[in-house]
Structures are given as structure tokens and as C-alpha cells.
Structure 1
Amino acid sequence: MRKLLLLTTVILVGLVFIARLFYLQVYDNAVYNIFEDNAIRKEYNYPKRGYVYDRNGELLVANQPSYDVMVIPREVAPLDSLDIEEFCSLLKITREDYDKKLERATHYSPRLPSPFVPQLSKRDYAVLQEKMRKYEGFYIQKRSLRSYQTTIGANVLGDISEVNRSIISKHPYYKLGDLIGNQGVEKTYEDILRGVKGIKFIQKDRFNKNIGPFKSGVLDTLPQPGKDITITIDSNLQAYGELLMKHKRGGIIAIEPGTGEILAMISAPSYNPNLLVGRDRSKNFSQLYRDSIAKPLFDRGLQAMYPPGSPFKTLNALVALQEGVVTPEERFSCAMGYRYGNRKMACHAHRSPVNLNAGVAQSCNAYFANVYRRVIDKYDTPAEGMDVWSNHIKSFGLGDYLNNDLSVGQPGKIPSAQTYDKGYGKNRWATTYTISNSIGQGEVLATPIQLANMAAAIGNRGYYYTPHIVKNIEGDTIPEKYTTPKYTTIDKRHFEPVVQGMFDVYNEGTASTLRVPGIDICGKTGTAENFTIIDSVKTQLTDHSIFVAFAPKDNPKIAIAVFVENGYFGSRFAGRIASLMIEQYLKGETTRKDMENFVLKYSLEHEYAKPYSGEPFGINRQSTLDPVSEEEYQNLLKLRAKIPKS
């Protein structure tokens, strides 16, 4: 009986094992996942990241070899103190760093590889490689780091940084230690530039030792290199713009009106993109990030929202013409400003009365207050008129992100009836409550890229292309949305009077001293009020200097917007910079050395220091001119001489 019971038990256990094996091999639909197999080691082979060229074929971003020391904590053999000290010396880390890094890697996964010390130099790698056999559980993985072939365009190009757990959870392609585009072109075109990792599967034995390729390497894959891209930036123009913005803060955007291609995208102050490469990246990034005063990581050309000031008047003129509330010939009087109720919007001295042409050329506040009121009051209620006005303005790309291919941006602000309903209550406000909109103040905010796009739309007489940074992708085409024109709500016939007015800004108006020989430039100066909070008090600082322009007058090749923070009136700094950059782009050189020397010679750093130093803010919000040292001035002239002719 006992023999029978024992035999039965053995048979039943055998049948259970057979049934289980049969089920797993025949009926179990679960797919074998090699990536979850702990007996298989995965080694990634990183691809060459795509190169970045400027519009003229100049190489801006290449690659350089880098070596990461990787660790698999479970495989780390015990080391005596002398070996650890030697290893730390080779890696240029402390014993405390060693323990922390090993603990972090173990916490991530004792079985999976993770970076221990990333981005070794060639020299460090050469010394370490000979002794790696002594340190079981550690190995060296080769990859590419960026090599910036330029010192300009940090905000344009961006950088690459190590992925964090949040990115890994959202994008399983990335593993701990992988690099990803962090900002600029590197971020926007990450999927194109990065390529595809290759992988090798290595079989391990029961002692966790490598015994060779898994299945003779048939599942291994080769890396696919990233695609090269050409961006729309003219590196010479970019370098020149960054030079002109030395010792100043602000943003410059230059666009080719016929394509929407961004020719220059300057944010000041800037920094050398090479600071964010290599083992010092973290330290350098922290220093840039913690600079809460100059904010070098803040892209003022794309993210800073300013009152657009007088350049915005051109849109109010176009809306008034479209709405039929004024003709180009109609004149309005200006008695040093515009009175409404018991208040007055001041204006500078100029001849009076003025028509549209003179209103634009002389930047008359009274003229634009009148035509703005006519637009709003044309309709039964201010709310209805405000929405009509708002929709016209938004058709130029203001109040919108523009749906471009840039990594950061802000929408700006164009008010609507809802804006004032929230502030004052429905049907409890009148046109005069919003009168500051007529001169680009009030509730209106715009970024430099939006105003450059506005200038391009005016230069094109009613349409624009979405501003974009990509010009060509290796083996591919750019999205159709960048080659399809977008039309404003203003009829083409209404643009010519406004264009003529902008042309006369240079001939007889507020920019008459900024003319460039041989180029017909249409522009508009602007001075925007500038407030900040100091000790909980709203304080008015020196006005911002603003200028928008396009050239030539017919079939323009460049449109530009320049914002110089605390630069005072538009023609002082912004107008000079715009004129110089237009000439540099169209002629390949500059002839107005007087303007160039002025911009290079004077600094605004003293203006930016005033809120923190207790100095006065100047008389009538007018910035004082503070020359740079003679040594710095000569250095800037040397930098200017290095910028080649286009």
C-alpha cells in the first residue's frame, strides 16, 4: 500500500510538471521579453548625434567623444581601501562621492547598469582604461558629447543634459544616464538629432559572468545616426547682434518676410554654449540658473512680454482703415496730447494737425487715440467694438504662441471684451477705460518675435509665414505649416499708406538720424514705460527702447524687432541696433560707424544696478549714458573686426 501511494505521488507530481511545461510552451500567450531577462546583459551603443549647420552651411554643432564609467552594483567585487583610493584618484572624485554614487546606483537597480562617473575626457579615459580590469562591476561606455563650434547662439542651439526619472517614465526609450536635448534646437529636434541606439545582448552564466553574445548576436542591432539639420540662422548676423547687445539686456528677432525663416534670435545677456558641455556642466548650469538678476537662461526674444509701445500704432492705423472709420488724408489736432474727460494722454512736440502719414512718422499719440476710439465706438457697445478690434490685432500673430518650432515662448496679451468685463464688470466700462491700447500700453503685451512677425506681415502687405528655425532636415522636408502663408484680416490696399508712414519715420520722422545709405528702410520707434516692484512699491524705472523695421520697402528681405531694456527712447539704442543689423545683413558690412561706435561704447549695466544700489532712476525716466572702459571698448572693436562680411 505504501509503495502504491509513493508511486502515485511521484506520477502525479510528474504529471503536474509536464502539464505546466506544456502550458507554458504551447498555451501561454505571454511574450518572452529579453529586456526583462536578468541572465542577459544589455550593452547600448550610442549613435552619432546629428550635426547642426547655419543657413550658409557653416558648422555650428558637432560631436566629440566622451566616456562614461558605468556600474552594475551586484557585480562590484569587494575592494580594499588602497584600491578604492586609487580608483577615486583616477576618476577625480572623493571617497565620499564613491560611496554616494554606488549607493545611488544600487537604489536604482543592483542588476542594471547605471552611470557612475559620466563624461570622462580622452586623457582621463586613456589613463583609466589600462586599470579597469582591476575593478569588477565597472566598465567604460563610449558616447558622444556636443562640441559647439561657436561661442554664440546659446539660446538658439540649446544643450543636452542627462535624463531624469520623470523623463524616463514618460519616454521609455531613455535609460538612466542617457542624454536629451534640454533647450533650443537640441530640444525641439531631439527625435531627429538623437538617432536610434544600437544594442548588444550578452549571455551570462549562473555565476553572473559574461560568456558571449546571446544567440550568436542575431538580436543585436546597430546604432542609427541622427540626421543633420540646417537652421535658418545667419551666424554672422547672430554674432553681430550679440556684440551690439553687450552690456545691455533685451531681445532681438530678425525674420525673412518671404519665408518666415528666423535670421537672428538674440537674447542678452547670453553665455558661451560650451559652458554646458562636459563634467563642469552641472556647476556652470547652476551658476547660470541662480543668476536671478541678469537671467541669462531666460530667452528675452521669445519669453519676455513687454508693452509694445508706439510700433503697435501701425496696427491701430490698419484696423481703422479696414473698419472704414478714417481715411489716410483725414487730420487730427494734437495740442501736446489727447484729452478725454479730465485726463490727458501726453504727446511730444510736433506739427499739427496730422494725417495718417504724419501720425505714423511723428508717432502722434493724439492721432491714434482718435482713430482707436472711432473703431471701438463704431459698434453698438464697447464690448462688441473691443472684440472686433481684438480679432484684427490677433490676425497678425499677437496674443498667440505662433505655433512655431521654438522650445520656449509666451503668448503675449491682446485684451478682449472679456478682459474688461472681468476687471470692471459687464457693461460697466467705456472706450476711454482702454485708451492706452491705442499707443501700445495698457493691457497690451507682446514678445519681440511677435513684433518682428508683425513687421514682416506689414512688409508683405497682409500675410506672414509662421516664424521657424529649421531650414532643412537631412533626407526629409520641413512641415507644410511653415511654407503656407497666413493672411491677416486687413485688405492689401490698406497697407500702402501705413508702409509709407513707416518709410517717412526714417525720412522725416523719429528715426531720421538713423538713415542708412542705399537702403530704403521702413521702421517705427517705440518707448515703453517700465515698472517694477521695489520694497512692495510699484516703481517706475527708465523706459524701454523699442524699434521695429523691415527693408527694403518693396519685397523686403529682413524684418526686425529690437527691445533694449531701460534704453530710453526708441532711436537711442534699439533704432541704431536695428539699422545696423539691417545694413549688415543686406550689404554684408556697415557704413554707419558713428552709430556702431555709439552702441558699442555705451553700457546700460548701471541702469540695471539702480534698483539694487539705491541710486536714483534718472530724470523723467531718461537713462544716463555710461561709457565702458577704454580697454573693454577696444576689445569690442576687436570682436567686431572678427565678424566676416556676409
Structure 2
Amino acid sequence: MFQDRKQIILSFFFIICGVYLSRLLYLQVIDDRYLTIGSTAIKKQVQVPLRGQIYDRNGKLLVANVDVYDMYVTPYKVKNIDTAMFCGLFGVSKKYFDSTMAVAKTYSRNRPSLFLRQLSKEDYARVSDAMMHFPGFSFELSFFRTYPARTMANALGYIGEISKKDYEEQKEEYYRRGDYVGITGLEKQYEAELRGKRGVKFRMFNVKAEDKGSYAEGEYDTLAVIGKNLYTTVDVEVQQLADSLFQGKTGCAVAIEPKTGEILAMGSYPYYDPNILSGKEFAKNFKELYKNPDKPLNDRVATGFFRPGSTFKLVQALVALQLGAIDHSTAFALGGAPVKCHPHPGSPNDLHNAVRFSCNPYFYHVFRKTMAFGNETNPFKEAPIMLTKWHEMTSKFGYGQKLGIDLPSESAGLLPSVKYYDKRYGKHQWKFSNIYSLSIGEGEVSVNMLKMANLAATIANRGYWITPHLVKGIGQNSKGIDASLKEVHQTDIDRVHYEAVIAGMQDAVERGTVSGGAGIVPGIAICGKTGTSQNKKGKDNSVFIAFAPRDNPRIAVAVMVQNAGFGGSYAAPIATLMIEQYLKRKVERIALKERMMNTSIRTVEAMAAKGEVLPINKPSEKPKPAKEPETPQKEAPKSVKIDLTIPKEKLIAPKNTK
């Protein structure tokens, strides 16, 4: 019995030994793959895919790629190299070499780290033969972004090296130190779609660092998958027109297609050429932009905070009409209100003429009746109840919340509520006199320019809006956008009330607060509303929202020009020129276009940077009433001729000039 068990154990032992010997024989004698290796090394090469490109709505290229080579170093392999020769060959200093090597060793001695970024194909060809003298250094094909249209820097965003925090917190191990990722704008929002999928190749090199071809005929290689292209909603011709009109000015402009929520143009000014934040000079150029007093890095469209000014009167009117606090023929006298108004024609002072001439006292009385609705004998008693109702109805226009645009940063703004005033003044300690400035879009309410364009789109649609968005398609089939970007939002205000307001808006452009007929485009019925938004320092902001044509609207626009004064003098002409370009595919009002292009407006920030005296509004307990011009200004501000072409050697947009 014992002898049988011994035989079984010995047999099992010999079988195992036979299997190992057979495998060794196969690997060293039969399998010819290992005969070719000899004194070679197998290196794993990561293949970085090209990032997806970005196009406008008509197929014009907005963002593309340029092939370059990045150099990586694996510290433990770097032995006995001629540092002086290396630095001379690659044009780097000894200090850069030592500091970068120290960072690489701190990260890992056995894993590759980025050493030198963005060598051109010509530079790579020049140095490739010399790499045998520098063991531990290798190249990977990479790319950097280029922006052919040279516009929309804030919305498109830029890419940069992954931060230490993001590298350490990535949920799945994909990025390496030094890899590019989207930092802002669409580049960040659609990072997963744009980045593609990495590939891996295994190559054999001999002791002289000569490439001996693929290992195992590429059996273990994986192909890199190019990132998906983005097809945006942007009309680059309208966008570039807005860029030219804002030369020498600070502000923002956004245009939306009302029926779809597609953004046609989105500019924050002063703008800068996005190419300057793509390349070796990124850090230097970013610093210059950051120090610019007009803050070109700020996205004023989606993240800025502004008082809506008189454009907010349209919401006040619609809410009051729906509640029944007023009707289409309700008239109020010009007096009897703490907010004043310029004398204007139009009798009676009804809703139509109040919208046409932007009458402050009228909308003060509208808001007062809304807050007191149902209890005229004791109007303040109902204010908390009615303010809650007003807040609920106004928020359906998108105020006080994020609209959901496909960008990584968007401000919600502020729409004050009962809770807000209770916290500020004490519960039930506030009165109508504390909140009446809301009637004309001043006081505590704040919005971004995206919301103001969305209001124009909502009125154009007679009561609903689609989530504003910049991307309409992803990849070859141009589909795949999130369903939330096509969501329909209802305001629950009857269509008939919109028609009453729209009639006044058309007259505001043709016979009202827009200066000198600057809003009239032959053959196109434009409906708009001017606004004059207050600043703590300097002149008021010039604001204008509009849509066109009146029937079957195709474009809604909002424009703000900082420190430019009345809404009809600067914002309105720029907005109507954008409308003209989109609907007619050209601008026929050449004189107006040139005047807007050649007019510079100094902002408070620019004046402060030059040490000039700032015009500061006198403080008061209550905000001053918004003003609108009754007639065109007699004398236009002095203008300065500005060269709109941007030289290649100086791609940053010029600062405002006198």
C-alpha cells in the first residue's frame, strides 16, 4: 500500500518536470520569436490619439490639431549621458534639465515622465539619430490645438496638463502625468468624447537603440481611436461680426435660435485669439491675459453677474397680465412714483407705450399692483404671499437658476424671495419700499447675458424656451447629445399676453428708445427692448435684447456694452447688425457697421489701470431709476480708428484705447 502511494507521488512529480522541460524546449528552440530577440529590449509605446475636432453649424472648422512629438524620460535608465550635448541639442538650460529630472525622480524612477513638450516634425527628424547617446529618453507622437477661426476662446475653452489633484482623483486609471485634458469650455465639458481612446504598441530595440520592428508581429498591439468630433450650433460668420463690432469695448453678446435653443454666437469681450493658449508660450500668454484690466479670461456670457435693467420690465408685465393685476389697456400716470422718467409722447400711458418708451413709473405701479393684488385697502399685507407667487412665476423664465447650457460653469444669478428679504431685514420686517427697485430690473436681481438672450427667445416663442446649448451632434452620425439639452420649458403665461408685449417691443425699435433708427433693418421686423443697467462705478451698462422677424422668429439676441450708457446707443446697433448678418447673410448698413467697429469705450477697469480719475456714482439708500433716451443723442461719442486685423506676432486683442 505504501509502495503504491510512493509510485503515484513520483509519477506526478515527473509529469510536472516534463511539462516545464517541454515548455522551456518550446520557448528556446521551437518558437522563433525568441530567436529574434537575443540582446534586444521590448518597449511599450503608448499611442496618444488625436483629439476630436470642433466645427460650426455650417461645417467650418473651429478647432483642429497639429502633430508634434513629446519627450518622456525614465530616470533609472538615464546613465552616463553628456548633459551639455543634450542641452545644446534640445535648446534647454542645465537648470531646466536638472529641475525636470528631479521632478521625474520624485514621481517615479521606473515610470516615464514628461520631459519636453511639443517638438515639431522637423525638430524630431533632426534629433532622432542622436537619441542612441541618451538612454532613458523616448518620444511619443502628440498634438496641440489650433483655432483656424480665431474666435470664441471662452466658450471653446483650452486644454492643458492634468493637475495633480485631478490625476490622483481619476476614477479609472487613464491619464498619465503631463497628459492634456480639457480645462475650460467645451474642451472640458466634452472631455470624454474628445479625448478618444489610447493605443499601445510593443517595439523591439537593440543595444544601439535601433528599432527592430514590432514584437510578435503586433499581436499584442492595440490601435488608438481618434476622439469624436463635435458639431456645434455656432454660426462663425455672425460670431466674427460680433468680434469686430466689439473692438475697443468691453461686454458680451449671445444669439440663440428660439425654436431649438441652439446658440448661434457667444462672445465675451475683449476677446483673445485662442491660439495663444495652445503651445509652448501658454504660461507667458496666460499671465498677460490674467493681468489685463479688462479681464478677457472672464466668461461674461454664462458666468457674469449683471442687473437686467429695463429688459426685466417685460417679465413684470407678463406676470402681472397673467395674474390679472393689469390688462392690456391699463394706464398709469407718469407721477406718483419714487422712480422718475424722462418725458415721452404716447397717450394714454398704457402697456404698449410703456414698453415702447420704457416708462419707469408705469412698471413701478405694475409691480405695486402685483404685490397688493386682492387687497388694495392694505396693500402691504399681501406682499409676502404675492412675492412668493411672483417669484414662482418669474423663475419659470429661467431666473434664479442655471439654464443647463453644456458648459462646465454657469452662474445661477439671484432672484430674491421672501426668504431672502426675511434674512436681510428680519422676518416680516421688510415692506414694498424695500423691494420696489425690482420693478425696473434693479436692486437685488442679477442675471447673466445668457438669461437675457433666453428671455428674448422665450418671448419670440410666445411662452416657452428650449435649454440653450452649443453642441448639436457628436461623432460621425452627428448625434448623441444629452436629452436634457432639448428640454422644453413652459412659462405658463397665455400667448395673448405675449402678443401685447411684442407689439410694444417692435415700436420700441422702430419709433421708441433705440437711437436714430439704428435698430431698423429694411425688410425685417425686429422686436426689442433697451436697458440701462446700473454700475457702482462709472457709466451704466448699455443693454439690448431682441428677436426677429416678428412672425416665425429665427434669431434672438442679447448684447451688453459695459460703461456705454443708454441701451439704444451701443447695444442695440450691435445686436441688430448681428440679426442682419444672420438673416440676410450680409450687412447692408455699412456706415453703422463701421461706426460701431471704430468706436472705443474705456471701461472703469482700464481707466484705473492708467491711474485716471474714476466717475463714481454717489451712494444713496435707494437705487437711482433706470433711464432711457427719448430721442437719439445729438452728438455721438468721439471715436477712435482701430485696426481689426490681428498680427500673428501679437495675437492678444488690443486693450481699450482712448
TM-score normalized by the length of structure 2:
0.84
Cα distance between partner residues in 2 of 1:424 and 1:432: 12
User: More displaced, 430-439 or 167-176?
Assistant: 167-176
What is the CA deviation profile of residues 407-443 of structure 1, one whole-angstrom value per residue up to 9, with x for unaligned ones?
3221111111111001111111112210000000011
Q: Is the 8 A contact 1:610 1:617 kept in 2?
A: no
Determine the C-alpha separation between the residues in 2 that align with 1:64 and 1:431: 61
Q: What is the distance in 2 between the residues matched to 1:46 and 1:349?
A: 67
**Residue 185 of structure 1, CA deviation:** 1.6
| Counterpart in the other structure of 1:528 | 533
CA contact (8 A) 1:331 1:353 kept: yes
2:488 paired residue number: 485
Taking the TM superposition and a 5 Å limit, the aligned residue runs for 1:69-468 are 69-79=71-81, 83-171=82-170, 172-201=173-202, 217-291=218-292, 293-335=293-335, 338-339=336-337, 344-351=338-345, 353-378=348-373, 381-468=382-469
Rate the CA distance shift 1:320–1:122 in 2: closer, same or farther, 3 A. same
Indicate the RMSD between aligned Cα atoms, in angstroms.
Answer: 2.8
Q: Which residue of 2 aligns with 1:535?
A: none
Counterpart position of 1:587: 584
TM-aligned CA distance change 1:107 to 1:205, over 3 Å? farther
Distance 2:48 2:443 in 1: 53
Match of 1:614 among 601, 612, 615: 612
Q: In structure 2, do the counterparts of structure 1 residues 507 and 192 end up closer, same or farther at CA, with 3 Å as the change threshold?
A: same
- Residue 606 of structure 1 contacts residue 626 of structure 1 at CA under 8 Å; is this kept in 2? no
Q: Deviations over 1:251-294 (max 9, x none)?
A: 10100001000000000011111101221122212222233x21
Alpha-carbon distance in structure 2 between the residues aligned to 1:214 and 1:110: 25
Aligned pair in 2 of structure 1 residues 544, 328: CA closer, same or farther (>3 Å)? Answer: same
Q: Indicate how the Cα distance of structure 1 residues 480 and 215 shifts in structure 2: closer, same or farther if over 3 A, else same.
A: same
* Inter-CA distance 113–492: structure 2 relative to 1 (3 Å threshold): same
Q: 2:507 aligns with which of 491, 494, 504?
A: 504
Structure 2 CA distance for partners of 1:628 and 1:327, relative to 1, 3 Å: closer
Give the conservation status (yes or no) of the 8 Å contact 2:531–2:544: yes
Alignment of 1:494-643 (within 5 A): 494-511=497-514, 513-514=517-518, 515-531=520-536, 540-605=537-602, 608-612=605-609, 613-615=611-613, 617=615, 627-630=638-641, 632=642
Q: Helix, strand or coil for the counterpart of 1:63?
A: strand
Letter in 2 for 1:414: L
Corresponding letter in the other structure for 1:51? Q
The residue type equivalent to 2:585 in the other structure is G
Distance in 2, Cα, partners of 1:619 & 1:598: 28
Residue 217 of structure 1: how far off its partner (Å):
4.9
Partner of 2:31: none
Structure number with the bigger relative contact order (C-alpha 8 A, sep ≥ 6) is 2
Structure 1 residue 86: Cα displacement: 2.1
The equivalent of 1:537 in structure 2 is: none
Aligned-partner Cα distance in 1 for 2:71–2:509:
61
Could you tell me how far 1:598 is from its partner in structure 2? Answer: 2.1
| Structure 1 Cα separation of the partners of residues 388 and 353 of structure 2 | 28
Displacement after TM superposition at 1:452 (Å): 0.2
Please give the secondary structure, in 1, of the residue aligned with 2:535: strand
Q: For residues 475-523 of structure 1, what are the alpha-carbon distances to aligned partners after superposition, in whole Å with 9 as ceiling and x for unaligned?
A: 3332222223211131222111011111110122112622111110000
Partner Cα distance (2:531, 2:511) in 1 = 16
Whole-Å separation in 2 of the counterparts to 1:279 and 1:469: 29
Cα distance between partner residues in 2 of 1:312 and 1:634: 34
- Distance across 1 between alignment mates of 2:285 and 2:44: 33
Greater mean deviation of Cα atoms: 64-73 or 612-621? 612-621
Q: Separation in 2 of the partners of 1:634 and 1:141?
A: 39
Q: Distance in 2 between matches of 1:473 and 1:211?
A: 40
> Shift of the alpha carbon at 1:128?
1.5
Runs ≥4 residues deviating over 6 A: 202-206, 208-216, 618-625
Cα deviation for residue 159 of structure 1 reads 1.5
2:654: which partner in 1?
A: none
Shift of the 195–377 alpha-carbon distance from structure 1 to 2, 3 Å rule, reads same
Deviations 1:97-151 (A, max 9, x none): 0000000011111000011011112232222212111100001111122122121
Q: Do the aligned partners of residues 230 and 241 (structure 1) sit closer, same or farther apart at CA in structure 2, a change above 3 Å counting?
A: same
Contact 1:168–1:176 (CA under 8 A) maintained in structure 2: yes
CA distance in 2 between counterparts of 1:628 and 1:187 reads 39
Deviation string 1:4-63 (CA, Å, 9 cap, x unpaired) is: xxxxxxxxxxx9xx9xxxxxxxxxxxxxxxxxxxx9854210112111110011112111
How far residue 195 of structure 1 moved from its aligned partner, in angstroms, is 0.4
How far apart are the structure 1 equivalents of 2:525 and 2:212? 75
Q: SS at the partner of 1:359?
A: helix
Local SS of the residue matching 2:160: strand
**Unaligned stretches of 5+ residues in structure 1:** 1-14, 19-38, 532-539, 637-646
- Displacement of 1:570 after TM fit? 0.3
Deviations 1:83-106 (A, max 9, x none): 312211222210010000000011
State the Cα deviation string for residues 153-183 of structure 1 (Å, max 9, x = none).
1112222111122111222311112111121
Rate the CA distance shift 1:181–1:616 in 2: closer, same or farther, 3 A.
closer
CA-CA distance at 1:445 after TM superposition: 0.5
Judging changes above 3 Å, is the alpha-carbon distance between structure 1 residues 363 and 485 closer, same or farther for their aligned structure 2 residues? same
| Percent identical | 40
Distance 1:419 1:204 in 2: 70
Q: What do residues 178-228 of structure 1 show as CA deviations (whole Å, max 9, x unaligned)?
A: 11112122111111111000123569999x999997777544311111111
Distance (whole Å) between structure 2 residues aligned to residue 317 and residue 633 of structure 1? 43
Tell me the distance in 1 between the aligned counterparts of 2:370 and 2:617: 36
The secondary structure found in structure 2 opposite 1:584 is helix
**Aligned counterparts, 1:4-83, within 5 A:** 42-79=44-81, 83=82
Q: Distance in 1 between matches of 2:496 and 2:542?
A: 31
TM-score where L is the length of structure 1:
0.85
Residue type matched to 2:291 in 1? R
For 1:367, the aligned partner's letter is Y
Aligned residues: 583
- Answer yes or no: is the 8 Å Cα contact 1:90–1:124 preserved in 2: no
Distance 1:212 1:596 in 2: 61
Q: Match of 1:346, SS?
A: coil
Match for 1:419: what amino acid? Y
Residues 619 and 595 of structure 1: CA distance in aligned 2, closer, same or farther (over 3 Å): farther
Q: 1:200 to 1:634 in 2, by over 3 A?
A: closer
Distance 1:634 1:66, change over 3 A: closer
- Give the whole-Å Cα distance in 2 for the aligned partners of 1:114 and 1:619: 55
Partner of 1:65: helix, strand, or coil? strand
Q: Structure 2 unaligned runs (5+)?
A: 1-12, 17-40, 375-380, 619-623, 628-632, 647-658
**CA pair 459-107 structure 1, distance change in 2 beyond 3 A:** same
Provide the secondary structure at the position in 2 that maps to 1:530.
coil
Distance 1:635 1:127, change over 3 A: closer
Q: What residue identity is the alignment partner of 2:612?
A: G
